[in-house]
Amino acid sequence: MNTTLAIIALLDGISYASLLFLVAVGLTLIFGVLGILNVAHGSLYAIGAYMAATIGGWLTAQGYSIWLTFPALLVAALATGIVVGGLLEKFLLRRIYDKDPVLQLLITFAVFMILENVQRMVWGVQPYFMSEPLRALGNVGVMGIQYTVYQIIFLPAMAVLTLVGLRFFLRNTLAGAQIVAVTEDREAATSIGIHAKRVYFITFIIGACLAAMGGALATPTTSVLPGMGANMIVLSFAVAATAGLGNIEGALLAALLIGIARSFAIYILPEAEVLMPYLIMVLILLWRPLGLFGSVKARKI
Amino acid sequence: MKWIALVVALVFLATLPLTFDTSLTFAAIVFSKMLAVLGIFVLLQAGQVSFGHGMYFAAGAYCAAYIGAAWRGPDLIVLTLSAIVVSAIGGFVIGLFVSRYRYIFFAMLNLAFSMVMFALLEKLFHYTGGTDGMRVRRPTLLGWEFNRATFDVVIYYYALGLMLAAAVLVWLYLRSPLGQALKALKVNETRLEYIGLSANRTILVAYVASAILAGLGGLAYGVVQGLATPDMTFWTRSGEFVFIAVLGGIGNVVGVFAGTFVYEGVRFYAAALLDDSWQLILGIVLITVILVVPAGLIGLPQRLMGAMGAGRFKEKAKG
């Protein structure tokens, strides 16, 4: 493997890791606060992608400027996260917070089955493409290699922005402080007048929006296909588990680790591409059973 | 009463080839899936659920395909033994890792392993035949060769026998101290450790057992269909096993029978109508079962009788 190929692999890895982080951080945030692993998170990712492809495709078909596809990505992500995530929490998850963890898993798994089916019914099985945002931003030379600005500057910027924004929100705003309080001790938080139910609702919607955002931002770089949700839920779980479930900052590191390892595998040993993320996860879990930054504390954020 | 019902069911199943020979293949498929569901059922006793047992199901089927490709005309007994060995080894190695975890991690790690296996089966085209899968040759039994029609009957009895033997063994296992430890693990893991039993080892034993059951199920399924394909380890398949186990009810082995027959029956007759929305319906039924009838199908009669009993009690109280 020569240097050029190594640099390309590194750039691929960083751009992929940014998307992975967006989805995984939503999963880990929801787990940290609600204590539920949302298997349907993968579906939110996929629906976000389909929505972005549909709205973006419609805009370009109408002859609007391709720059309008950027707000379209955002609108698709927020609409998906708020509508699907909101309905899910309000009508289903709210009933199962006091149930067995196995039953909670089964319920979100059932939701995943339902949403995968709904996607097929709405969008069919043919792939969707929407590469306008990629073209709009053009290319940039990185260490002698031409790479798309969208993938190497825009996506990582979005990931870092999300991390910083989330940190700021949780540590410096009242709503964020309420979320942290409920995570630490739900009863104590309720007794000082925090509306725990609303905190759960808001957290779930934020997490859902992040998953949909990951999907929407992935649309320009990949074709939108059935089955992308199933792959993403296990992959983002691998990232969250490697970092330690519930750990937000660690998720960025784990996403980078897994994203870069995966893209190197593509160039060196293509068959091992799918194996790589899980290999890393298993090795790290063997070494630290609770993940890189996991601690014994029952819940963390 | 229970015993009579059981005997009637057994006699019916044993004489099925004489009466309805058209539904034999259907029944054999039901039995092979039942084996895999039994595996999930064992794990559910400890309160654990695996979203990845399709990988052992596929392992059993591919085992038959490879042996058939290597030696033309393999014996069913050889296939059975090798499926047991392969899935036991696989279950032990993966089990050593996953038995350290519970609930979310246990379920998701299994899912991750099965997704890896799915991807490998699809990608390593030269070894596995890719998406098309591999042909499973019709095996002999104790040296006898069969034509297609006779083989249907043979494989029916084989699957029935395997499934019944497995059900009895699971029943004995759950009554044994090891099985009781498994149930204790669901109630209170710390207490189990205080008695001096290793919780992880208890799970590991159950996990290997469940892997073998799924492997045998996959073997029977592969032989019946004559085909081993990657989608046997796709997440929808593993999800289906969990779905059937929960639908049937996790309190009793009989629930596995009831669950699989109802599930496959509905699927068999409704598939043509509902093919497009099959998963949608499964998901909705699963949520309904969990929220409304947590004991599953097998708990339904008790629940109904309980409701009637409560009604009578009220009448008496009024009178």
B113 contact A CB<8A: yes
Tens-digit pLDDT profile for residues A235-274: 888 898 888 878 888 889 999 999 999 888 888 888 778 8
**Contact with chain A for residue B104, Cβ under 8 A:** yes
User: Looking at residue A195, what is its pLDDT?
Assistant: 86
Identity (one letter) of the amino acid at B231?
Answer: D
Specify the range with the lowest mean pLDDT, choosing from A49-58, A140-149, A186-195, B159-168.
Answer: A140-149
Q: Which residues of B touch A111 (CB under 8 A)?
A: 283, 287
Instruction: Test B97 with A286 for CB contact under 8 angstroms.
Output: yes
User: Closest partner residue to A116 among B115, B120, B279, by Cβ?
Assistant: B279
Number of H helices and number of E strands within chain A? 14, 2
Q: Chain B contacts of A114, Cβ < 8 Å?
A: 279-280, 283-284
pLDDT for position A136: 76
Residues A104-129, buried b or exposed e (16+ Cβ, 10 A)? bbbbbbbbbbbbbbbbbeebeeeebe
Amino acid letter at B88? A
Q: Which residues of chain B have pLDDT under 70?
A: 1-2, 18-22, 271, 275, 299-319
Position A45 confidence tier, pLDDT thresholds 50, 70, 90: very high
pLDDT average, residue stretch A132-158: 79
* Residue B290 to residue A103, Cβ atoms within 8 A: yes
Token pair, residue B37, equals: 């569901």
B214 backbone dihedrals φ, ψ, rounded to 5°: -65, -40
Query: How far is Cα A162 from Cα A148, in angstroms, rounded to an integer?
Result: 21
- Tell me the shortest Cα–Cα distance from A176 to chain B, in angstroms: 26
Kindly report, residue by residue over B264-281, the tens digit of the pLDDT. Answer: 877 777 767 776 787 888
Residue B275: the pLDDT is 67
What pLDDT shows up at residue A150? 79
> Is the Cβ pair B120, A102 closer than 8 Å?
no
Nearest-Cα distance to chain B for A71, in Å, is 32
Give the model's confidence band at A56: pLDDT under 50 very low, under 70 low, under 90 confident, else very high. confident
- Choice between A71 and A43, residue whose per-residue pLDDT is larger: A43
Q: Identify the band that residue A299 occupies on the pLDDT scale cut at 50, 70 and 90.
A: very low
Q: Which of B112, B246, B277 lies closest to A117 in CB terms?
A: B277
Over the stretch B163-203, which tens digit does the pLDDT of each residue have? 999 988 998 898 888 888 888 888 777 887 888 788 788 88
Query: What is the per-residue pLDDT across A79-104, written as a single tens digit (0 to 9) for each?
Result: 999 999 999 888 888 888 888 788 88
- The answer to whether the Cβ–Cβ distance between B291 and A271 falls below 8 Å is no
Q: How far is B52 from chain A (nearest CA, A)?
A: 11
pLDDT score, position B315: 44
**Nearby residues of B104 by Cβ (< 8 Å), 6 or more positions away:** A31, A37, A101, A105, A245
Residue B306: predicted pLDDT: 61
Per-residue pLDDT band for A21 (boundaries 50, 70, 90) equals: very high
- Smallest CA–CA distance, residue A256 to chain B, in Å, is 19
Q: Using the predicted structure, report yes or no on whether residue A210 has a pLDDT greater than 80.
A: yes
The model's pLDDT over B54-85, given as tens digits with 9 standing for 90+, comes to 999 999 999 988 888 888 778 888 889 999 99
Q: What per-residue confidence (pLDDT) applies to B295?
A: 72
CA distances from A115 to A24, A38, A100, A172, B292 (A): 19, 13, 23, 35, 21
Share of chain A above pLDDT 90, in %: 15
Residue A275: half-sphere exposure toward Cβ, Cα within 13 Å: 12
Instruction: Indicate if the pLDDT at residue A232 is higher than 90.
Output: no
Q: Give the tokens for residue B199.
A: 């919780």
Distance from CA of A190 to the nearest CA of B (A): 26
d(CA B316, CA B309): 11
Q: Which residues of A touch B (CB under 8 A)?
A: 31, 37, 39, 92, 95-96, 100-103, 105-107, 109-114, 116-118, 120-121, 230-231, 234, 237-238, 241, 245, 271, 274-275, 278, 281-282, 285-286, 289
pLDDT at B95: 92
What pLDDT is attached to residue B213? 94
Q: Is the pLDDT reported for residue A301 higher than 60?
A: no
Q: Smallest CA–CA separation between B243 and chain A, in Å?
A: 9
Letter string b/e over residues A18-44, b meaning 16 or more CB atoms within 10 A of that residue's CB: bbbbbbbbbbbbbbbbbbbbbbbbbbb
Q: Of B11, B67, B62, whose CA–CA distance to B214 is shortest?
A: B62
Q: In chain A, where do the E strands start and end? A: 139-142, 145-148
Least trusted range by pLDDT, from A140-149, A220-229, B197-206: A140-149
B107 at A interface, C-beta within 8 A: yes
Confidence class of residue A207 from pLDDT cuts 50, 70 and 90? very high
Which residues does B257 contact at the CB level (< 8 Å), separation at least 6? B9, B34, B167, B248
Q: By the 8 A CB rule, do B189 and B199 touch?
A: yes
A117:B278 CB<8 A? yes
Residues of chain A contacting B47 with CB distance shorter than 8 Å: 100, 102
Instruction: Kindly compute the dihedral angle of the four CA atoms of residues B98, A250, B235, B202, in this order, to the nearest 10 degrees.
Output: 10
Cα atoms in the 13 Å half-sphere on the side-chain side of B116: 19
Q: Using a CB-CB distance cutoff of 8 angstroms, which residues of chain A are in contact with residue B276?
A: 120-121
Torsion of CA B226, B227, B228, B231, to 10 degrees: -130
Picking from A212, A233, A223, the residue whose alpha carbon sits closest to that of residue A125 is A223
Please give the model's pTM, rounded to 2 decimal places: 0.83
3-state class (DSSP) for residue B144: strand
Among B104, B113, B239, whose Cβ lies nearest the Cβ of A113? Answer: B239
Q: Could you tell me if the ipTM is greater than 0.90?
A: no
d(CA A215, CA A47): 7
Q: Do the Cβ atoms of B51 and A282 come within 8 Å?
A: no
How far apart (Å, rounded) are the C-alpha atoms in residues B213 and B50?
Answer: 14
**Residue B35 at interface with chain A, using a CB cutoff of 8 Å:** no
| β-bridge partners, B228 | B134
Give the angle subtended at the CA of A163 by the CAs of A157 and A167, to the nearest 5°. 145
Q: What is the mean pLDDT of chain A?
A: 85
The predicted structure's pLDDT at residue A296: 57
Give the per-residue pLDDT at B308. 55
Q: Pseudo-torsion of CA A80, A85, A88, A89, nearest 10°?
A: -160
Helix (H), strand (E) at residue B250 = none
